[in-house]
Amino acid sequence: MQLLMMIHGLLLLVLLSATEAAVSPTSHAKPGCPDSCGNLSIPYPFGTRKGCYLNESFLITCNHSTNTPFLQYGDIQVLNISLDGQLRIFSWLARDCYDKYGWLQQSSQYAWHFLSIFTISWSRNNFVAVGCDALAWVIGSLGQGSATGCLSLCNTMDSVVNGSCSGIGCCQTSIPKGVRDFNISVTSFKNHTNILDFNPCSYAFVVEDGMYNFSSLDFVNLRNKERFPVVLDWAIGDTTCEEARKNRTAYACKENSMCLDSDNEPAGYRCYCSSGYKGNPYLSNSCQDVNECEDPSLNKCVFAKNCVNTEGNYACFCPKGYRGDGLREGGTGCTAEDTAEDKQSLKTKAIIGSSFAISLLFVIMACALCGIQRRKINELKQKNFRDNGGPVLRQLLSKIERSAEKAKIFTEDELKKATNNFNESEIVGRGGFGIVYKGTLNNKLVAIKKSRVMDHDQIEQFVNEVFVLSQIKHPNVVKLIGCCLETSVPLLVYEFIINKTLHHHIHNEVSGSSMPWKTRLKIAVETADALAHMHSDAPIHIIHRDVKSENILLNDDFQAKVSDFGVSRLVPLDQTQLPTLVQGTFGYIDPEYFHSGLLNEKSDVYSFGVVLLELLTGEKALSSDRPDKDKSLAAFFISSMKEDRLFEILHERVRNEGNQEQIKGVAELARRCLRFKGVKRPTMKEVKMELEELMIGKCLHVEVRTDFEETEPLLGPPTNFCSTSVSIGPDSTKYQAALQLESGR
């Protein structure tokens, strides 16, 4: 009896241990290592002691007396660590305070932050300054050169608006890319002595987007505030996924995982569990299959119990007495089979009326064929979705927490409904690269672009491009709303710009004569701002490759919107120029790119220079009405500048309304953009800054050059003026011309 009781006790102990192991959550820390500090969960590659982290940069120091975690050996408190590549910390606030006589009373004008390898998230934080006499800036240390800042002023409290950070009492700006160790600084112009409602302090801080809402009470309350939450980006190493895979021993992504390049600077990569798996992709055998059948929200089976889990996926089936594939969405579902009574009734009806039975048979056959056809169509849609990179894009979009930033993946049926089944009456643009339809989604007008061809070898680049373009937050770039991947060629959905193109407003006989000089100059500044953003500030640098007045759309307020990224190229961080098939539009193509086939950001600068000429002269980029040597607007402009005939070729409104020094400044800037050698052209950021200074009248006396140190050959027009777009390869002997798309995207 005593032996039986001992055996029973041992069995009970084993059962309790197994139950405890079954219900305990899976740790994301390295085996044998602490997985938390206070309330913070610490997943590998992070760790609190040697052997528990990937390298020294991922060390989390835990103050065990207060259960408070810090970055490495510093004083920056860690709030949260996400395996998606984000890390939240507390960031210090900078301030300076004065008395009514202008004497400094309290100051911590500088706040230094040392972040090791981590980078401030450029898309999830803002830089804020608060005060009525505040000039603040944040700058990357260690010679990084990334900096931004803003100015906040106000004379009385009545001028301050709660919730607004537009520069009166509070100002706000975005964070540059690539900022690691950084310093926040704040100062004042007149030590707060010129403010009628005296407010003694100025403040500056970096804060997570959505975690700060300005109030006039903050002029006092922030005096006791020490820190704000900030989101950091982290990645593995300083190489891309492709380079990291070459060194298998150092490659951090383990079994059942995928690798994606970091969207911040400098380079690095992150690992994610593949679709259908969950766990820690940095630990061996951690990404385990998800049992979709246990959670009805993870599967699309009609009956929850008729679900079979498979490795990385699941399958549905119908119960006895039903037929179909068991899917409630995207499939045939489950339909009850005919009963014996129904069959007997059918036989009776067939005997009574053979003609009716034959007709019914034909109907059944037709329905069956329709069902088979529908299933084939659904299978084809699913195949197209997979072939066009749908699963990878869906995985990428799921990493974006804020739904407002996500590009949506539409079904083909949704876009058919939006365009009345792609009715020809909804076509707003047609050309060699595709067709653009006008449609309505959620009571909003959209432009739906359907390309003619798709290179399926570039699917990974296409998916990455959609992911990047959907996150571009710039007022002068047409916003990508989403895409449809169920068709053989992906469809792209953009916001619809209703006021036609800049080309229409310049060259239309009525609109062209009615556009004032100030409007033309504003459009030039906004277009330059958009191109400068794509060249240097976007998540991945983009060369547009087809800058022209037809691809600059205007809204009701004549705000410029750069559009049509159909031939654009993404520039790897380690390359300054790309060997490509020459594409673009005659009259706008960079001659150096045309002759060498090497694409770089200065190619867009040349094309923008031609757009400046259109705004100045009202002339088309190519025209058969001009003499042979001047058919190219660039050639016509250069020859006119050499002959000191600038003001003779200007558009009448430009000549009558514009300030002569201002016009000379724009013309001289256009001439520099049109230099044959790309290295001698300014960058788009420099072009934008010069145009902004010219627009506000901040320009010195400008001498328009009529003597040129170099002969700059310009790309002449094609002999056939019906073809305005070109695609020319280094080994090609023929122009492959195609009419360029003019649309309402």
CA dist., res. 436 & res. 443, Å (int)? 19
- Residue 94's identity, in one-letter code, is A
Between the alpha carbon of residue 462 and those of residues 393, 457, 491, 566, 567, the distances in Å are 10, 10, 12, 10, 11
Which ranges of 121-252 does DSSP label H, i.e. alpha helix? 218-221, 241-245
Give the phi and the psi of residue 651 in degrees, each rounded to 5.
Answer: -65, 150
Q: Establish whether 546 is a catalytic residue.
A: yes
Catalytic: which of 96, 218, 233, 546?
Answer: 546
Cβ distance 278 to 288 under 8 Å? yes
- Residue 474 CB-density burial (10 A; 0-12 exposed, 13-18 middle, 19+ buried): middle
Cβ distance 566 to 741 under 8 Å? yes
CA dist., res. 699 & res. 694, Å (int)? 6
| Radius of gyration, CA atoms only, the chain | 32
Instruction: Return the percent helix, strand and coil in the chain, to nearest 5.
Output: 30, 25, 45
Quick check: helix, strand or coil at residue 427? strand
CB contact set of 142 (below 8 Å; sequence gap of 6+): 180, 181
CA end-to-end distance (rounded Å), the chain = 86
- b/e string for 146-169 if b means 16 or more Cβ within 10 A? beebbebbbeeeeebeeeebeeeb
Cis peptide before 45 (omega within 30 of 0): yes
As given in the structure block, the two tokens for residue 173 are 């700006």
Cβ distance 151 to 210 under 8 Å? no
Cβ distance 209 to 126 under 8 Å? yes
CA dist., res. 728 & res. 599, Å (int)? 13
Q: Shortest CA distance to 713 belongs to which of 645, 644, 649, 634?
A: 634
Confirm whether residue 522 is marked as ligand binding.
no
CA dist., res. 117 & res. 728, Å (int)? 43
Between the alpha carbon of residue 260 and those of residues 239, 242, 283, 738, the distances in Å are 11, 9, 17, 36
Q: Shortest CA distance to 439 belongs to which of 493, 500, 490?
A: 493
CA dist., res. 67 & res. 456, Å (int)? 52
As given in the structure block, the two tokens for residue 310 are 């498979």
Q: Which residues are known to be catalytic? A: 546
Task: Detail the residues annotated as belonging to a binding site for ATP.
Answer: 450
Task: Detail the residues annotated as belonging to a binding site.
Answer: 450
